[in-house]
Structure 1
């Protein structure tokens, strides 16, 4: 089963991760240490330093296959090119950071067939085509990290999010009961953008946009 993962965060804040200033970089390093720590062979703790791991170091933690490395963290923070074989694990890091920085995050379990089925049901209920689920991915995030295999990324500005929320709220009562829970979850999440946008100036932050990451395999960001 695939997944639609939605993050309420300004697209400018997303782009600022790549080439992050010192304070933000340190915060994100700490988040990565906490989120991807593994025991060392001597059980002396977790990812104590962000340094390259080598097999010749007997104290280096043994990372599971596909596990992000300190080098991946530094490549992301510097905005460097990520080779294809590192894309999935770098997206795991970025997804963790997005959840840390976002005003809110939610996910919908949807594979390709389920998306088509839900889109058809919403259209039949009266949702305009320009406000479909796929239109939430219409904007190009323009970040250095390319999508991993079987992944799509995109974003919507807050004005489009508001229009989508209004339209979904109107048709939510007319969708098939198989989709009622998903639609209600999405409507409830999008409803909070108004609240977050009002709070943003007081927090010294821009109003949130909607960043969407869809991936076909649940293992991609697991």
Structure 2
């Protein structure tokens, strides 16, 4: 018997005495809360996302699609990254100007191999402005969950405005609960009993978020 079968068996036993006509969960839980606060426009929502990401000590950058390869190359160079982990579905053009050695996301990579990689670049599934949260769902441009947890430096690209929502209730319908969802609010951090903050314990020490506008940047006056 597999672990999955064992767990499902326990669930069935726990539900054995539930009446057949019991109210389904979808109707038993009231969902009449506000889906968003106010009616901010796109610019205000993206600004709030940037503010909350920075409040969580993420490093926030903005660019348009044309400027993305140069920005990523500059961020990797500033980090001194000689190697970068690349999910299988990442747009190859994003790394076109970087000279860092590319490391493929492989199922048989060991934790030690992943730890020796300097940086990882991924996309995301959705970004929540009110909480400053990035959600990854294991899609091809994001790769396996572990590649964003082991390397010390994570660059995450958010497409603006398509992937930015105001609130968590707005984010949930966009996500498939059957996928391996990772919710990220800033770099990995923890505090001991003395409230000394330590970053990088459960994930990357440095999180850089690139808010990439799908529209060309307006020329400077």
Please give the range of the TM-score, normalised by the shorter of the 2 chains.
Answer: under 0.3
What is the TM-score when the length of structure 2 is the normalising length? 0.26
Whichever structure has more helix as a proportion of its residues is: 1
Which is strand-richer, 1 or 2?
2
With CA pairs under 8 Å and 6+ residues apart, which has the higher RCO, 1 or 2?
1
**Length-normalised TM-score, structure 1:** 0.26
